[in-house]
Structure 1
Amino acid sequence: MKLLLVALVAAALWAKPADSLTCYVCDKEESNWNCLKPQTCAKEDKYCVTTHSTVGLGKDKEPRISKYCSALCPETNLNIGIASFSASCCETFLCNISGASSVKTSYTVMAAGILASLLYVLRAGL
């Protein structure tokens, strides 16, 4: 069975033109399981991009994953407590299989924001 799978992957790699990249694609999915649809990219696309964003607190967190082909690499990592956004790039066949789940809301940043808001409210009341 493994030999058949290896043969199919090798055939797929050989059948595609050398300059075409293939990436997984999806748009604003809640789970990486919904992001496993391969697509052949346009000739100008050199990167497979995966974005992961999270908004909310605790049980109300709403993760979203998007994957696409791109000519540019918008690599980013932003975390502002109750919201985070990450974009990662890669350049090989179906390399964006990961859901970029390494970006998580930081409880330290969130606690610092709540503390700063509380101090501002207390100070404004005096």
Structure 2
Amino acid sequence: MKTASFLLCFLGALALCVQIAHALICFQCENEASNWNCLRATRCSQGERRCVTIGTVTAKGNDSQVLITKKCAERCPSEKEYPNRALNSLFCCENCWCNLWPPK
């Protein structure tokens, strides 16, 4: 009885570890002026298999600034999905922590 109980607990813990090991981890932030504010790692949902970094220009001329958004995504977005934003860059990748760097 003890052996069966131990085996059941062991298999449950193993299944949990395997599930966590296959999860994608991306950095996440929304409209931040500094990449230092975008270093919060987040475990993505099951269907999300991409990490995305988006650089958006806020204004033109001397007052312009690039705001950074990082997130998990199901697929790589296209520039057409952001018609109301002046995109500076759009980066998409498929590995854990691959969206570490700021937009180029």
- Same-fold call, TM cutoff 0.5: yes
Contact 1:26 1:35 in 2 (8 A): yes
Using CA pairs under 8 Å that are at least 6 residues apart, name the structure with larger relative contact order, 1 or 2: 2
Cα distance, 1:15–1:32 mapped onto 2, change above 3 Å: farther
Specify every segment of 5 or more residues in structure 1 that has no aligned partner in the other structure, as ranges: 1-13, 78-82, 103-126
Partner of 1:44: 47
Residue of 67, 86, 90 corresponding to 1:87: 90
- The reply to whether residue 17 of structure 1 matches residue 25 of structure 2 is no
TM-score, with length taken from structure 1: 0.58
Name segments (4+ residues, structure 1) moved above 6 Å.
none
TM-score, with length taken from structure 2: 0.69
Give percent identity, aligned residues only: 35
- Between 1:45-54 and 1:56-65, the stretch displaced more is 56-65
Contact 2:79 2:87 in 1 (8 A): no
Q: Determine which structure has more spread, i.e. the larger CA radius of gyration.
A: 1
CA RMSD across the alignment: 2.2
Contact 2:54 2:87 in 1 (8 A): no
Aligned residues: 83
- The reply to whether residue 71 of structure 1 matches residue 74 of structure 2 is yes
